[in-house]
Chain A
């Protein structure tokens, strides 16, 4: 079980958190202008990488804040956590 460093609360058990899928997928500002394919790209397509992945997490049983995490899915190492809107601190 991970030990996650919430950017607002500090280190907490994984059981306090909820994973929210891939990060940095921005909701299109003008969805009506998009073709079916472009909309589907936003709606359905996810990378699901084996390796370093950028993810959304929510401290749902804590401060309820959403934040981002860089995690290596091959060994579950958390490389970084950072607030929404911030640039990832690692590549």
Chain B
């Protein structure tokens, strides 16, 4: 390999700044300004990876974000490793370590290459057809597929980098800083619009910034020089913010866009600590100007994927921008004029061009004559039919195209080359436009899809709008932007353009071959190894919609979303099926335009900020006293309080026993509390609860059940009448927000005539529940002034009281079946009152208990937990709670649904108790209930919803829902488990103290 691949011509490369980097464990050098791709090419390296399915050697194909092949792993085995990175987008820095990823053991010798030989048996849909049958074999297949295919490796340790999200509001967002974007941004900013200009590259100016051609000039200056002055000017504009290395990932409705700003990826690793790596910009723009340019099309022919085959525009960029020659003996293969610009760039630097193969018979624009003048052989009306060379292209063969372009004729000529440039014309980058909901139209003349109907306040300008010639671009950008921004005058009015390119083109989606179709490998999607043969096979098998063909053949399904080959896939489909382009749909481009890291997506919401959690005012005490916590909604609730070596079971048994034998204390602060006031408060409760409320006396409490309009249980809780027109409602912990929302909904939309006001007080009060036979003695010590006698303060009543100077509300209500008191006090005093209760209860072995014991105690009493024993398919009747459904009330939410034909069925699932034959055996929650295990299939009658070992009853108890359960009392049923069947007997769901004596028990 010779050393003169680098030409000292580019001002974008700082040759005084040498950068060393590693690729596949070997050290190389590049210069500041290089991308990994340009630096590798400067070192003569084309082969960088293996293809996904056939493991064919693949090289750098492009120079930008559309790259399908050169995807690499950065910093393997480090915390900053990143897979699937496009070498064409990585700016090199000192210490960069990159490796090929889809090959084993090495990129030069890859075991998976055998797939290439096996390719006749790896057709489209191969995975669907082969590996799905028999289903039980999938695990075996998967092992091999994962080992031999697969892209990069994900990091194994926490990401050390910082990411953040930023909101940006602007009048005009301009996406893409090529010639159109620069012009539009300048016009917008100069006319008073607050403007943001973003570009995915590290520099401004797009491909025009290195356009030094004598054949296209602006105001008689080189395009690059003219543009440089423009850039210099706009960088001083106050109204304009410019962000480079910023890639718009998504364009949503209402001009809401997401962009990723990359801040440290181009810095040496040791300079990145404590800096934000990526910023996700959430941009809301009044107007959007899309100037995302276009992507050159490859040409589809046999073996069009060898290392050394690049897009012709990429060859031009590598030489003009990076000063790197991709080869020393080049051949260009084209169907339009743009390859001749590449030729001129190569000629200028004295790089050899062996030949130009042009599909067109007529090649007569000025630039083509100029190229011909340099003694370069142009094969007009010819096509490449094959290529040779395993790790790098070394030869091509060409043949003459027939008049209709359907076949090749005549003799085959072989030509030597080490680099082949392809130009199949240009595809407007309409990805963001279609993401925004825009509709495309097909332009027959040059076979492109261009924006047609805009769904929001936006325009597309430049080549992403289908304007390819310099004159067209400048003129149309000017007129469209003026109209869009309602601007009269612009300095661009007088701009003069010289351009010698013609727009003539001979488009053939799939070039003919002298071989039969089955013998060729013409790649349409390089990254996913989908060939023209695969697409034709899909059509033969009956697929028509592009979305189906895409999934079946995996065309366009790679990380590059088929930026290069999607158009060819559409073209081959329409040619084969004999239909019009676009008739089978264009593929839908989905966000992100280029992949985003997870870090970018989550931003600062990592670790403890991933999801917020709520703590009760007594939380610190629970922590100090060794509580284990359970997540309930967003709350952290004390679950149980293990002592010394206790496990969960032991702790819960001890806590449960203590609560019934003497006294327990529970932090119930998480229960939802809704303050309800207004002259219609009682009427409102009548309508939202199943039972009657008008007659509830002030100072009394009542349990209520709330249904959905479909009659299914929605929430439950105790509501207390604090005054004539004043109630406090409690809800379940998880249901609090939704219940408030539902009540507000009815008040605002169905019953606006009711005089009712709601406020959420959940966070305002701490709720401490003291229960057990000694609870009264304890609360009496805490509040000595209050008369706690059963006569003055009976079960289901409430009292205002004071602890010291602090007002509190005491409710005598019970979720455990024990005598119990709930102290509600301003949240900030919660912990001190809790401690007071602990102190007062010392002599009575007061035992803090958590949610698990609470669940056990209520299960002994057969009290349901909405959401555990119910699942939005159970009515109060199903729950054997007929007693709480008022027969007298004319209406309440859900009433009518309680006698629909379905809800009155006798064989609905109903709540029952379950006792195991062996009292020591505890059932698994969620286990199925059946009556017969011999019959196949086994009929499922229901399932276990709650299950515990009760230390108070000294046996296992469970609740469950069971078909016709009400009529099955005493029946023997079976719970089939993995390795045994457990016999159970259907029982009353109330296991303990059915008469409720303990509520008033005296010790």
A residues engaging B (CB < 8 A)?
1-3, 18, 20, 26-28, 30-32, 34, 36, 39-40, 43, 56, 58, 60, 64-66, 75-77, 84-85
CA distance A20 to B745 in the complex (A): 10
Contacts A3-B254, A32-B890, A75-B455 given; does A56 touch B896 at CB 8 Å: no
CA distance A43 to B708 in the complex (A): 10
A27 touching B750, Cβ below 8 Å: yes
For residue A20, give the distance in angstroms from its CB to the closest CB of chain B: 7
For the A-B complex with A39-B900, A66-B749, A76-B253 known, give 14 more contacts whose Cβ atoms are closer than 8 Å: A1-B256, A2-B253, A2-B254, A20-B745, A26-B750, A27-B750, A32-B890, A39-B896, A43-B897, A58-B745, A60-B741, A66-B748, A76-B254, A77-B455
CA distance A39 to B252 in the complex (A): 39
Contacts A1-B256, A76-B253 given; does A31 touch B900 at CB 8 Å: no
For residue B447, give the distance in angstroms from its CB to the closest CB of chain A: 28
| A74 closest partner in B (C-beta) | B437
For residue A75, give the distance in angstroms from its CB to the closest CB of chain B: 6
| A34 closest partner in B (C-beta) | B896
For residue B602, give the distance in angstroms from its CB to the closest CB of chain A: 16
Asked if B744 is an interface residue, CB under 8 A from chain A, the answer is yes
For residue A42, give the distance in angstroms from its CB to the closest CB of chain B: 8
Interface string of B737-750 (1 = CB under 8 A from A): 00001001100111
With a cutoff of 8 Å between Cβ atoms, the chain A residues found around residue B871 in the complex are none
For residue A36, give the distance in angstroms from its CB to the closest CB of chain B: 5
With a cutoff of 8 Å between Cβ atoms, the chain A residues found around residue B710 in the complex are 43
Interface bracket on B: 20 to 34
CA distance A36 to B890 in the complex (A): 17
For the complex of A and B, the 3 pairs showing the least CB-CB separation, nearest first, are: A31-B896, A1-B256, A3-B254
With a cutoff of 8 Å between Cβ atoms, the chain B residues found around residue A75 in the complex are 437, 455
For residue A88, give the distance in angstroms from its CB to the closest CB of chain B: 15
Identify the interface centre among A18, A20, A64: most chain B CB within 10 Å of its CB. A64
**Within the complex, which residue of B254, B709, B752 is in contact with A85, where a contact is CB–CB below 8 Å?**
B752
CA distance A43 to B901 in the complex (A): 14
With a cutoff of 8 Å between Cβ atoms, the chain A residues found around residue B256 in the complex are 1, 3
Asked if B895 is an interface residue, CB under 8 A from chain A, the answer is yes
A3 touching B890, Cβ below 8 Å: no
B254 touching A1, Cβ below 8 Å: yes
For residue A90, give the distance in angstroms from its CB to the closest CB of chain B: 19
With a cutoff of 8 Å between Cβ atoms, the chain B residues found around residue A20 in the complex are 745
With a cutoff of 8 Å between Cβ atoms, the chain B residues found around residue A64 in the complex are 744
A-B pair number, CB within 8 angstroms: 54
With a cutoff of 8 Å between Cβ atoms, the chain A residues found around residue B749 in the complex are 56, 66, 84
B900 touching A36, Cβ below 8 Å: yes
CA distance A39 to B890 in the complex (A): 16
For residue B900, give the distance in angstroms from its CB to the closest CB of chain A: 5
B252 touching A1, Cβ below 8 Å: yes
**Within the complex, which residue of A3, A31, A36, A84 is in contact with B284, where a contact is CB–CB below 8 Å?**
A3
Asked if B891 is an interface residue, CB under 8 A from chain A, the answer is yes
B891 touching A32, Cβ below 8 Å: yes
| B901 closest partner in A (C-beta) | A36
For residue B672, give the distance in angstroms from its CB to the closest CB of chain A: 16
| A31 closest partner in B (C-beta) | B896
A76 touching B437, Cβ below 8 Å: yes
For residue A31, give the distance in angstroms from its CB to the closest CB of chain B: 4
CA distance A2 to B284 in the complex (A): 10
With a cutoff of 8 Å between Cβ atoms, the chain B residues found around residue A39 in the complex are 896-897, 900
| A78 closest partner in B (C-beta) | B254
With a cutoff of 8 Å between Cβ atoms, the chain B residues found around residue A26 in the complex are 750
A-B contact pairs, 25 of them (CB 8 A): A1-B252, A1-B254, A1-B256, A18-B741, A26-B750, A27-B709, A31-B895, A39-B896, A39-B897, A39-B900, A40-B900, A43-B897, A56-B749, A58-B741, A64-B744, A65-B748, A66-B744, A66-B745, A66-B749, A75-B437, A75-B455, A76-B455, A77-B455, A84-B752, A85-B752
CA distance A60 to B744 in the complex (A): 10
With a cutoff of 8 Å between Cβ atoms, the chain B residues found around residue A40 in the complex are 900
CA distance A18 to B741 in the complex (A): 11
A1 touching B253, Cβ below 8 Å: yes
Interface string of B870-908 (1 = CB under 8 A from A): 000000000000000000001100011100110000000
CA distance A56 to B746 in the complex (A): 13
CA distance A31 to B707 in the complex (A): 15
With a cutoff of 8 Å between Cβ atoms, the chain A residues found around residue B745 in the complex are 20, 58, 66
Identify the interface centre among A1, A3, A60, A64: most chain B CB within 10 Å of its CB. A1
For residue B905, give the distance in angstroms from its CB to the closest CB of chain A: 13
CA distance A3 to B256 in the complex (A): 9
With a cutoff of 8 Å between Cβ atoms, the chain A residues found around residue B901 in the complex are 36
CA distance A18 to B738 in the complex (A): 12
| A64 closest partner in B (C-beta) | B744
CA distance A8 to B741 in the complex (A): 18
